[in-house]
Amino acid sequence: MSGLPLGAIHATRTEPLRVLEEIKRLAVEQLGAIPSGLYTPIEHALNESAIRAGIPGARRTELASLLTLRQHSATYVMRFRQQVAQGFDDFRALRIRHRGDLPMGLVAENQLEFHLSGQRLAEAIGQRYSKPLEMMEGRLEALATALDVPASSNPIGAGRLAGAFIETYRDAELTESLRPMVFRQYEQELARVLGDLYGRVNTLLATAGYGIAAPRVKPALAPQAERVPAPAPGGTGYGEGSASDADILAEFDQLRDMLHVWREGLIQGEPLNAEHAPQRTLPPRRELRVDEVLSVASLLQSEPPDVFARALAGTGMLGNAIRDHLSDGARRLGINPDQTRLSEAGEDAIDLVAMLFESLFNTHSLLDRARRLYARLVLPYVKVALTDQSLFASREHPARRLLDSITEACEGNSAATPQDRELLERAAAVAQRIVADYNEDIAIFEVAHVELDALLTQQRRRVELQEERAAKAAYGRERLADARGKADEIVRHRLGAQPLTQSVADFLAMPWRHHLVQTLLREGQEAERHAEALTLGDALVVVDEFASENRGRQVADRLLVLQSAIVQCLASSGLDDSASEHGLAGLVRSLAWPDAARRTHALAPVQPPHDDETGEERKLWLAGGTATVPHDPAVADRMRRLLPGDWVRISDSQAEAVAAKVAWVSPLTSRLLLVNRRGIRVLVASAEELAALAGEGRLTVSAERTPFDEAMREVRHQLGRVAGQR
């Protein structure tokens, strides 16, 4: 957020002109330098294109036009900043003409394509940022009403940004080939800042009181008789109208009952073991009201989360850390912890949030760098759990969706690439925004989720491409293995069918085998070239037989016919013309001697090139590495029914768990490719091998597709295990 002390949403709104000026400042600050960043990437692209073309002086016209743009860069930056600022004047109705929007009407013929490109750009921006723009439109309408001006176009909307760009470069000399490159680079530069800008503007408007706050519902953890929420006005309440959410709410009631038994240390009338007791037994004291707990949590919310980070690191139970921290905060507010205690609702909120966060770290590959990020969110989520029951009852709850997005951004993210680092930084910024701005209005979670999800959408596209590359690589390896197997079978049959000279046997076992593999891979088993390759091998076997019978004339005639095919076969193994001719000469010399030694031959095993699927990957996951490992056939059948998009949770030999998605099923071997949330291959394995891992307790098929759901399922299992021990 900016330095403007707007605070949280209150009954009165911040003065509207002040809010608009702050948005204008943010927009000019973040967008103003975009024109100056266009030229270097385009220059690199033009130079690379010229190098690939291999034509000296290629793209000279475009580079000259680009140089002209560079020389006037300061002018374009100033003009663009003026266009951005003018949008806010138009919003206040200070100008009659909206020149920043895409102009309508007649334009010069040489400018028509320029304006069409601008319209396509506006459509692309509007589509990519549809959610934050839609949210912003409603809030700007409320701001316009407060300013007592007619509702106008969004000053930083899609059409306005495209129009500002057109107005900035209206007199620029752009060649037909350079124009789309400039527009494309402008779109890419916008993508670097718009997600953050739109998120900050939406947050600023929401926290200043412009926009409809989400309806407040009864406390999430109220007594049993009060758990069914009343319908929200207009039918917009979270969790309303969904049978599945009703089932979740009923299941949540059961979970609370298990939690109460767990916390009291009584299961079927018997005390729990000491290590299972979640907290100290407290003497009767006054119950703290929900608003008192919220006040304490709000006081502590902005403080460093070190105590929670240490608890998540395994040094202590997070629930106890939360209680102790709230107790210290209560003292600061003049509430004596020795005379007060948490209500059952407060205890439930703390325990469920603590177990939720602990479960996220247990069930997802969250690295150390993410721990402090999650620690910051502990108290905000305790506050949500105290005031909004739909956090645990509705899959569409904004705080729930935000936590899913943050986990998606952080899981397995070691910041190895610039994109991964950007994702971590954005997730950390979103978490910090929640800490700074959340004051019991969940609209801030919605805004933060939209902002982070805009970047995640780009990440998901990269992950999809990574998955496609992993699938293509796995399929390529399988096709190669299949081709090698078929070629080996063909060669083995020829070598063992009749006695052959050593030179012919060597030719069949090496260059001819390699040639067969190449034709199988490139052309297929039914192709004409593969048939020609088979004919060559069979013909050489016949020539060797003629040579053994001293039929020199037929040998010479056949070799003359086969000469071209033999040279091509040798060349396909990587030999140049000279080496191919030398190999042919050696073959001819050996066939010139009818008394040369002949025998049947066995195909020596060929060591395939090192494959990352065969070494460390197998050692990491599989003990057997073959489809004959002991397994339950019924479980193997279940694994065969997995489809691309299904998720499993798998543990390596060091008990490190990772969420893995089925990205591809081989049409050749039916093996399954598993990738992590970054699209990186985890394992390629058969259904039998996956069944073996499941039998060892190292693989579970996850029906839950979101981290929140999966973490809550683990919480239920945890409580169930404790119950089962008694």
Q: Does some domain include residue 216? A: no
How far apart, in whole angstroms, are the C-alpha atoms of residue 308 and residue 313?
9
Do 586 and 618 share a domain, yes or no?
Answer: no
CA of 198: how far to CAs of 91, 110, 315, 332, 374, in Å? Answer: 17, 34, 39, 38, 24
Q: Under a CB-based contact definition with an 8 Å cutoff, are residues 42 and 66 in contact? A: yes
If you count DSSP H runs as helices and E runs as strands, how many of each does the chain have, helices first?
27, 9
From CA 167, how far away is CA 85, in angstroms rounded?
13
293 and 422 co-located in one domain: yes
Cα–Cα distance between 514 and 531 in angstroms, integer? Answer: 15
| 263 shares a domain with 384 | yes
Of 425, 448, 466, the domain-final residue: 466
From residue 633, give the alpha-carbon distance in Å to each of 670, 684, 718.
16, 19, 29
267 touches 726 (CB < 8 A): yes
Distance CA 89, CA 425 (A): 33
Q: What is the predicted pLDDT for the residue at 411? A: 85
pLDDT of residue 385: 92
Domain boundary among 466, 486, 521: 466
Is residue 266 within a helix (H) or strand (E), and if so which, with residue range?
Answer: strand 266-267
One domain for residues 423 and 294: yes
Two tokens at 118?
Answer: 């601008």
- Whether 75 and 198 map to the same domain: the answer is yes
Q: In angstroms, rounded to a whole number, what is the distance separating the alpha carbons of residues 324 and 337?
A: 10
In a domain, 724, yes or no: no
- C-alpha Rg value of the chain to the nearest Å: 35
Q: Which two tokens stand for residue 25?
A: 């400042």
Inside any domain, residue 215: no
Same domain as 265, residue 412: yes
The CATH number of residue 649's host domain is 2.30.30.140
Q: Is 682 helix (H, G, I), strand (E, B) or coil?
A: strand
Assess if residue 442 is contained within a domain: yes
* 366 bridge partner residues: 411
Overall number of domains in the chain:
4
- One domain for residues 513 and 428: no
Is there a single domain that holds both residue 188 and residue 291?
Answer: no
Q: What is the DSSP letter of 665?
A: E
Alpha helix (H) residue ranges in 54-177: 60-71, 73-91, 109-128, 130-147, 158-168
Of 490, 497, 512, 492, the C-alpha closest to 542 is: 497
> What is the per-residue pLDDT for 98?
43
Last residue of a domain, one of 591, 620, 639: 591
**β-sheet bridge partners, residue 672:** 665, 685
Same domain as 656, residue 527: no
What's the pLDDT at 99? 41
- Residue 191 shares a structural domain with residue 322: no
What tokens appear for 269 in the block?
């009338």
DSSP SS3 for 239 = coil
Q: Which range marks the domain in which residue 289 is found?
A: 242-274+285-466
Question: CA 50 → CA 53, 56, 65, 67, 185, distances in Å?
Answer: 5, 7, 16, 16, 19
Both 45 and 134 in one domain: the answer is: yes
How much is the pTM? 0.57
**How many CA atoms lie less than 13 Å away from 64 in the CB half-sphere?**
6
Extract the residue ranges of the chain whose pLDDT is less than 70.
Answer: 1-13, 52-58, 94-114, 211-249, 251, 264-284, 315-316, 606-628, 653-655, 703-705, 721-726
Q: How far apart are CA 508 and CA 491, in angstroms?
A: 7
Domain annotation covers residue 1: no
pLDDT in tens, 20-70: 888 988 898 889 888 888 888 888 877 777 776 666 555 778 788 888 888
**Do residues 637 and 522 share a domain?**
no
Q: Please, where are the H alpha helices in 364-442?
A: 371-387, 390-393, 398-410, 418-437
Token representation of residue 72: 């006037």
pLDDT of res. 403: 94
Nearest-CA neighbor of 207 among 437, 26, 445? 437
Residue 636 lies in a domain: yes
